[in-house]
Structure 1
Amino acid sequence: MQPANHSQIQATTPAEKRALSYSSTIKKLFDEVLDTKMPADRIVANYFREHKKHGSKDRRVIRETLFGLFRWWGWLKQLGSQHDEQTWFKMLSCCALLEQHNWQQFADAWQSFSGFSTEQHQIITDFMTRADLTIQEANALSVSDRNQLMNQLFAAIEFKEQQLVPAWFWDVCPIENEVQQIKLIEAMSSRPPIWARVQKYDTHKAIKELQQAQIDANVSGYFDDAISLGSKSINLNEVKLYKNGQLEIQDLASQVIGNVCQPKAEENWWDTCSGAGGKTLQLRSKQLQDAKGSKSAGSIISSDIRSKALEELNKRARRAGFDNISIARWKSDELPVDKNSFDGVLVDAPCSCTGTWRRNPDMRWIDDRSCVDDRPELQLDILTRSAKAVKSGATLVYATCSLSPLENEDVVKQFLATNNDFELVVSTHPFTEQQSEHITVWPYEANSDGMYVARMVKA
């Protein structure tokens, strides 16, 4: 890697030169995310595709620092402008500290470039000494501990936990209970594990094989086919179970949807907003599980407006060896399927994705309140049109990966107000075991993303 050209900083050691080069690259990507408002993971993927010189360690330092900056941006942005060189190095240094990154030589270089006072350097040293004694991994440090550190480092600034999500979030997702607020922030400020689902294969056998391949695989404790794969990056193309279609990546909160649907072996279901097919595959897997080894005559029809997403779905279905999955693309407002013909219809509606902020921390800062306010009208329209495909006595499931009642309970209530042939059904929350007509999965309940789901039945 070539060192970046900084006008004020003089790097004298190889570690300092690499730290400067990393800093320049991360700054370029960070500004590009804020300027273009494109997702950070897409921008990073494009960058690495164009710059193949970076090794795996380079990629990890760049990627994890970039996402860490967005994770703590609610605090870091209060230090000043990232365009000021010294402030930028303060941000990088604080990010490495808050994240407990293990590339200490680069963190030390950023700290030395930051212009911290002697007192601030001592606060960091004392903190690192304490942290080394108690922290086994980054997520073991509480947000309260990190908040205390920031307030010690920058006494003139008041840092609060609630600042780690934008202020407008609390307006669209009102949580009056401060304990629940802190729990949510704690989850939003840590990285969830990689969740997967086993299909057409024994779960315990799959775990054993994955562990033998040095993958940190464990049962979920909630669903028989769900597996946690830990938090380390995995090259799925080298995982035999994945290549054979016996393992699919799907967050645990997302898996709640299929378990609420519970499609039977002989039923016909329509996945109205299927995307690349994660829930379609889960529905078909559930049907095969219900068939208990015998052939399932049930079927899934998957629809979306995006042809590329449907192509990916077909590819995944072929890899899994699943039959009875077909495609019906939305080409207009007209239903792409027959009316009154399905035993179950799943509407996983497009939404603000606030439930996935934990995995995509940049989205908190490149979106604004309109990402929530602009959705309910479309969601209600999709739900209302899709409901026409439900036959009498059959099931309609509405879901989003949003945490806002505006996109969830309020949409369902509006739908029921004008569709009195549907009624809500009580479901059991898989993580809390509470029964409710509206299930909201909070990220802190089972170390997952956030999700909402409601089940209705047509008279």
Structure 2
Amino acid sequence: MNHMRLHRNLVFSVIDGLNLIFNEGAYADKVVEKLLKRDARWGSRDRKFVAETTYEIVRWKRLYAEIADIKENYSRENLWRIFAVWATLRGIELPDWNQLAGTPTRRIKGRFDEVSKIRKIKESIPDWLDELGVAELGEDVWTKEINALNKQADVILRANTLRTTKEKLKALLASLEHETEDIKGHPSALRLKERANIFKNEAFKNGFFEVQDANSQLVSEFLDVKPGMKVVDTCAGAGGKSLHLAALMENKGNLISLDIYEGKLRKLKRRARRNGAHNIETRVITSTKVIKKLYDKADRVLIDAPCSGLGVLRRNPDAKWKIQPEFLDKIKDTQQDILQRYSRMVKSGGKMVYATCSILPSENQEQVEKFLASNDDFTLVEDKKLLASESGFDGFYMALLQRK
């Protein structure tokens, strides 16, 4: 028996959060961020309960709804039933609140064993996604992969070599009571042995590290940048990869970070200041002119393309419910369009990386093949398909191409 005591105000917060996510289309991370500001008296354990329970129920929504026998209607009453399933499966004793009255605990456990035989319910995914996974990866690989994508991700740090070394960071974090370990084949990565909120500590405020998945860290390394080069990060976003590139370039040369969203680039500028990355210049893509200005100018180009995000479901479980099949068709057109246009920034002899955080060949190898078929001045040097089920980290794809 799990002797956790359920506290009314924490559970009510979770229910409110789920209502926003399931019924109002709000993003889970934004909702959790808001919930955590709700009550200044909550300690770290209270906040952990709210955050992790909300994510857990978002992740297993279909499984829990199936067990609770709920059809696609997430009324408050139904949300309480789903919550009761979560608590029961975790062996938590239910308090005698009227919202939880009449919970059929024994039936819940029996139903769990029953429905766990069906992959799309056991792994809690929509039918269309299960069919797509099988079609693209085959039954065996998909079964393993979707299982891995439902596991909670470790917290991985990237030591910012502009400010410190991995060894120094490790010692500093240990002195702050955060034990970390190295990860083979990931030169700047450290894994936190225990999950913790590390954004509060001095090491973070001084820009010694960023939080970044180990496989995500491989993308910038794959681009093979050297200090002094002209490098363009075409879909920079809030700049996780730009910051890594700046470190690999040792702040020498010129790194141009582009994005269509000005807000994201503003965030990147703030992060760059904290990281001590001085060779980054941000430019908002307001028109095609911004891109054309850079044609044939770059030694290296990174296209970290917008994608389905299926490789990072461990971090964004609500994406399972937000993505629609139509979105996938649209995003594939966007990917090909970006590849065709942005590749022209690479100068002759230069290199580019096309990367996604997806595991689907149709967003990955097939896009590269299609691109190469119509651009004979590029060749594929090497590509990597990183599956969560094989690596233990996020699912990624990266292709290194060279212009003749």
Q: What's the TM-score bracket when you normalise by the shorter of the two chains?
A: 0.7 to 0.9
In structure 2, the partner of 1:95 is: 86
- Map of 2:130 onto structure 1: 170
Does the CA contact (< 8 Å) of 1:65 and 1:96 recur in 2?
Answer: no
Report the equivalent of 2:144: 183
Equivalents in 2 of 1:230, 1:190: separation in Å?
Answer: 16
2:76 & 2:241 partners in 1: Cα distance? 46
Greater radius of gyration (CA): 1
1:72 aligns with 2:35: no
Structure-2 separation of matches of 1:232 and 1:329: 35
Cα distance in 1, alignment partners of residues 393 and 96 from structure 2: 34
The corresponding residue for 1:249 is 211
**Deviation sequence 1:101-133 (CA, Å, 0-9, x none):** 8xx45x566899363457548x6xxxxxxxxxx
Out of 268, 271, 291, the residue aligned to residue 316 of structure 1 is 271
The SS at the match of 2:373 is helix
Alignment of 1:189-208 (within 5 A): 189-200=150-161, 201-208=164-171
Hey, what does 1:161 align to over in structure 2? 119
- Quick check: 1:86–1:114 contact (8 Å CA) kept in 2? no
Does the aligned pair in 2 maintain the 1:421–1:458 contact within 8 Å? yes
In 2 relative to 1, CA 111–223 (structure 1 residues): closer, same or farther, beyond 3 Å?
farther
1:259 maps to a residue whose letter is: E
> What is the SS of the residue equivalent to 1:334?
helix
Q: Tell me by how many angstroms 1:199 deviates.
A: 1.8
- Residues 300-339 of structure 1 deviation map (CA, whole Å, 9 limit, x = unaligned): 1111111121111111111122222111221112334421
CA apart distance, 1:28? 2.2
1:59 corresponding residue in structure 2: 47
Aligned-residue offset at 1:216: 3.0
- The alpha-carbon distance between structure 1 residues 110 and 192, as it changes in their structure 2 partners (threshold 3 A), is farther
Mapping for residues 325-404 of structure 1, pairs under 5 Å:
325-336=280-291, 337-404=293-360
Shift of 1:178: 4.1
Kept in 1: contact 2:296–2:348 (CA 8 A): yes
Matches of 2:99 and 2:12 in 1, distance apart?
16
Answer yes or no: is 1:28 the counterpart of 2:19.
no
**How does 1:225-236 map onto structure 2 within 5 Å?**
225-236=188-199
Q: Deviations over 1:48-101 (max 9, x none)?
A: 345545443332222211111122123112122365777644522432455x58
TM-superposition CA deviations, 1:392-432 (whole Å, max 9, x none)? 01101101112222222222222112111111112xxxxxx
TM superposition shift of 1:248: 1.1
**C-alpha separation in 1, matches of 2:105 and 2:88:** 17
Which whole-Å deviations, capped at 9, do the CAs of 1:187-246 have from their partners, x for residues lacking one? 2222111111112222122112212211131111221211112452314132x2222212
Secondary structure (helix, strand or coil) at the match of 1:237 reads coil
Unaligned residue ranges in structure 1 (runs of 5+): 1-14, 124-148, 289-295, 427-436
SS at match of 1:221: coil
Residue 193 of structure 1 contacts residue 447 of structure 1 at CA under 8 Å; is this kept in 2?
A: no
Cα distance in structure 1, aligned partners of 2:180 and 2:98: 36
Contact in 1 for aligned 2:157/2:211 (Cα 8 Å): yes
Aligned alpha-carbon RMSD (Å) = 2.7
Question: Residues of 1 paired with 2:191 and 2:97: CA distance?
Answer: 34
Match of 1:113 in 2: 100
Match for residue 200 of structure 2 among 237, 242, 245: 237
Q: Which runs of 5+ in 2 are unaligned?
A: none
Which letter maps to 1:160?
I
| TM-score normalized with structure 2 length | 0.88
Q: Could you list the per-position Cα deviations for residues 330-353 of structure 1 after superposition, in whole angstroms to 9, with x for gaps in the alignment?
A: 111233442101110000111121
Listed one character per residue, the Cα deviations across residues 138-169 of structure 1 (whole Å, up to 9, x for unaligned) are: xxxxxxxxxxx7544xx5x5642333222222
Contact 1:29 1:44 in 2 (8 A): yes
How far apart are the structure 1 equivalents of 2:129 and 2:22?
18
Contact conserved, 1:272 with 1:347, CA < 8 A, in 2? yes
Aligned-pair CA distance for 1:186? 2.7
Partner residue, 2:381: 425
Residue 391 of structure 2 aligns with which residue? 446
| Counterpart contact for 1:162–1:181, Cα < 8 Å | no
Aligned-pair identity in percent equals 28
> What is the aligned counterpart of 1:38 among 26, 32, 56?
26
Which residue type is aligned with residue 115 of structure 1? G
CA distance in 1, matches of 2:153, 2:342: 32
One-letter code aligned to 2:52: E
Q: How many angstroms apart in 1 are the aligned matches of 2:328 and 2:74?
A: 30
Q: How many residues align?
A: 392
The alpha-carbon deviation at position 383 of structure 1 amounts to 1.5
Distance change (3 Å), C-alpha of 1:75 and 1:345: same
Q: Separation in 1 of the partners of 2:247 and 2:252?
A: 13
Q: Residue 278 of structure 1 is aligned with which of 240, 244, 252? A: 240
Change (3 A) 1:22 1:51: closer
CA contact (8 A) 1:172 1:372 kept: no
Match of 1:264, SS state, is coil
2:36 equivalent to 1:48: yes
Contact 1:270 1:301 (C-alpha < 8 Å) held by counterparts: yes
